[in-house]
Structure 1
Amino acid sequence: MYSMSNDQNSRPTIMVIDDSGTIRRAAATILEQAGYRVEQAEDGFEALARIGDCRPALVLCDILMPRLDGYRTCALIKKSRQFHATPVLMLSSKDGLFDRARGALAGCSASVAKPFSRDSLLSAVREHLPAGDAMFTHH
């Protein structure tokens, strides 16, 4: 199991929310190999229940999930005083104008197209991490 908080090494924590275990594991592997801490959640409800404990620097959230979709999950994260400034990137196989606009209205910072490559995922994460965490690089 992954650690529930950032340690003294200040490795940024990224929360990956996706109902597909394959997608979660793929994203987690890429991010962990790049030196990030990763918290995984199967859906929006699990993410909302755990976000306060892991305090991620950035959230990757699938759009199409059962029970609570990515747009509503993002909007609820953004309504939180503690996490309103946390970047949320949507993971989506949908890349239409409507979907991007709906994501922007929910408060998402950007979207990452699925299937994603290592480079596209890491580029999006580094671009949207808060300034202090964006300086983090793993050699």
Structure 2
Amino acid sequence: MFLTKEHQDFCATPIIMVSETPELINKVQSKRAGATDNIAKPFERVQLLSKIWQYLQ
């Protein structure tokens, strides 16, 4: 899986991956695929909103 951050329209777009488990390998794979950040299930709504807000500023 590779993300489209190489495309000029998306290079500045933050991408937050959602994974099923909090295992380190999921975080590593997300970063290698081009994700800006990763959050694992289960998570509270406020955690996701906090990450989104962080990258919108």
The alignment's TM-score, normalised by the length of structure 1, stands at 0.37
**Equivalent runs, 1:37-52 vs 2, <5 Å:** none
Which 5+ residue runs of structure 2 have no aligned equivalent? none
The 4+ residue runs of structure 1 with deviation greater than 2 A are: none
- Provide the identity percentage: 35
> Is the radius of gyration larger for structure 1 or structure 2?
1
TM-score by length of 2: 0.80
Partner in structure 2 of residue 90 of structure 1: 17
Structure 1 portions without partners, runs of 5+: 1-71, 135-139
Which AA in structure 2 matches 1:102?
A: Q
Q: Which residue of 2 aligns with 1:53?
A: none
| Aligned length, in residue pairs | 57
Distance 1:98 1:112, change over 3 A: same
Higher relative contact order, chain-length normalized (CA < 8 Å, sep 6+): 2
Deviation at 1:82, TM superposition (A): 0.8
What does residue 32 of structure 2 align with? 105
Q: Which residue of 1 aligns with 2:54?
A: 127
CA RMSD of aligned residues (A): 1.4
